[in-house]
Chain A
Amino acid sequence: MLAWVGGVSLFGARAVRDAFRRPFELDEIARQIYEIGWRSAPLIFVSGVAVGVVLSMHTRASLERFGAVSMIPAGLAIALIRETGPLTAGLLLSGRVGAGIGAELGAMKVTEQIDALEATAVNSFKYLAVTRIVACIIAVPLLTTLMDFAGILGGFLAENAASGMSFRLYFQRSFLFIGFEDFVPATLKTAVFGFIIGTVASYLGFTTTQGTEGVGRASTRSVVLASILIILADVILVRMIFFFFPQSRG
């Protein structure tokens, strides 16, 4: 376990260092943002709407008791933007993207494609791992923003069905108590989630052994380990956000 933690930490540190060294592999980063980001958008959007509907139903059930139904949009938006959206997006993407990267790089490793890249005088670490990690760091906050808005849309659909509240009123109330300190730190923390997903999955892909069985293992472990690390990182990052943005406690 210690060896794994050490290995993945060194892998991540090397990725950070190499990300600022030439060549920057911008074409490959753009391709990975498309693969990781754009292709994950339908999953994130649909999940976001569903989460918004469910959260809205729960919130309505709770707030009705106190006669505070008008607070549903604001309560839902704060919950989504501060925590539910970022964490749900992170966990969903650790499944879709982490498994994909782990399996793809694992398959490349066991079929000697990574060796073939090196033999072609290409830095395989930079070309395959750094580009995916950078793409995850960029894509995950963007997808989190999509999830937040999809969740608010889902909340509106549920609220509209329950009370007939108009679209305009719902969105006015949603953003009534949302400020910079709610959206920016919570969304930017998902860049760390992206770093975790990209690094863990790339590391497990690069260290795959034992053929197709190893590829399956790399894929599964990418999801499990990235998910655990995201949850642990979330605890630390929330504490840091409260420290640097004390107003976001309110």
Chain B
Amino acid sequence: MNQANGDAIRLEHVTKSFDGRKVLDDVSFAVPRGSAFCLLGRSGTGKSVTLKHIIGLIRPDAGHVLVEGEDVPALRPRELARVRKRMGFLFQEGALFDSISVGENVAFPLRRHTDLPSPEIVRRARARLEQVGLGADYDKMPAQLSGGMRKRAGLARAMALDPPILLVDEPSAGLDPITSDEIDQLLLRAKLEQHKTLVVVTHNMPSARTLGDELALLDGGQLVVRGTATDLERSDNPIAREFMQSQGGG
């Protein structure tokens, strides 16, 4: 259970079942600080469940989930909140709070967890929205945004507290290639310039190649292949090869 120096995230033998169906089966991996780990796999293979384990939304049936050395499932609520403040989470559909404006969604973590004066919070929220190309949409309601815009606003909210770890669920799903590339570039800058640790769940091989220092393929609840994009392309594992080819990654 010792956290190796430099690992921001470490999963050790994590197992999880829902209604008797094993979704994660003895999954282990580590993500060094400042690196990007891309989790690949078909729908329903447990990728999002893995992310939710990291931020403590789901507790494992067995195993350990360590974030910066702290065993997330064992934390008390107050300690868990402290660890969560060090992570930003982009949900698959953005998960914006639909009763408040886009800008207030981004301002929300700042209002909750900082003592900054309101004008400064608004300024920072606007700056985050400008980073994702939504500077003019501060006062819009989430329902007025397209799917891609909601996702970008969700990313701005995830980055609002400037957390050192970003967990990103399907950043390019349902987006056009240009928007998808813009989000990839944003995440890449977060990794290279701000040294953030990224865990990215994706189906998109170009995204995985752009972002990932390490890629891993989940299948049947198990990590079947791990390595660089080249390692996966050259893998003997038929599932990995099929996956890479089907994604145009061959």
Contacts and interface: CB of A to CB of B under 8 A. Distances in A.
Given A118-B57, A118-B84, A123-B81, 18 more contacts: A107-B98, A108-B98, A111-B93, A111-B95, A112-B93, A115-B91, A116-B91, A116-B97, A117-B97, A118-B56, A119-B57, A119-B87, A119-B89, A120-B108, A120-B109, A121-B80, A121-B82, A121-B112
B119 interface: no
Interface in B54-89: 55-57, 77, 80-82, 84-85, 87, 89
Contacts of B56: 118
Nearest to B88: A119
B57 A122 contact: no
B93 A119 contact: no
A118 B56 CA distance: 9
B113 interface: yes
A113 interface: yes
B52 interface: yes
Interface of B: 52, 55-57, 77, 80-82, 84-85, 87, 89, 91-93, 95-99, 108-109, 112-113, 157
B88 to A, nearest CB: 8
A97 B98 CA distance: 19
Given A112-B93, A113-B98, A115-B91, A120 B55 contact: no
B95 A122 contact: no
A118 to B, nearest CB: 6
Task: Specify which of B57, B92, B95, B157 lies most central, judged by the most chain A CB atoms within 10 Å of its CB.
Answer: B95
B60 to A, nearest CB: 17
Interface in A62-119: 104, 107-108, 111-113, 115-119
A200 to B, nearest CB: 21
Contacts of B89: 116, 119
Contacts of A123: 77, 81
Contacts of A104: 99
Interface string A49-73: 0000000000000000000000000
B132 to A, nearest CB: 16
Interface string A22-65: 00000000000000000000000000000000000000000000
Which 3 residue pairs of A and B lie closest in terms of their CB atoms, listed nearest first?
A116-B95, A119-B89, A121-B84
A139 B150 CA distance: 35
Interface of A: 104, 107-108, 111-113, 115-123
Given A118-B57, A121-B81, A121-B84, A113 B97 contact: yes
A126 B25 CA distance: 33
Contact of A115 (B52, B77, B96): B52
Contacts of A112: 91-93, 95
Given A120-B108, A120-B112, A121-B112, A115 B57 contact: yes
B111 to A, nearest CB: 10
11 contacts: A104-B99, A107-B98, A113-B96, A113-B97, A116-B95, A117-B97, A119-B57, A119-B84, A119-B87, A121-B81, A121-B109
A117 B55 CA distance: 12
A121 B77 CA distance: 9
A116 B85 CA distance: 12
B97 A119 contact: no
Contacts of B108: 120
Given A120-B109, A121-B113, A122-B112, A113 B81 contact: no
A9 to B, nearest CB: 21
Contacts of B52: 115
B72 to A, nearest CB: 12
Task: Specify which of A107, A115, A119 lies most central, judged by the most chain B CB atoms within 10 Å of its CB.
Answer: A119
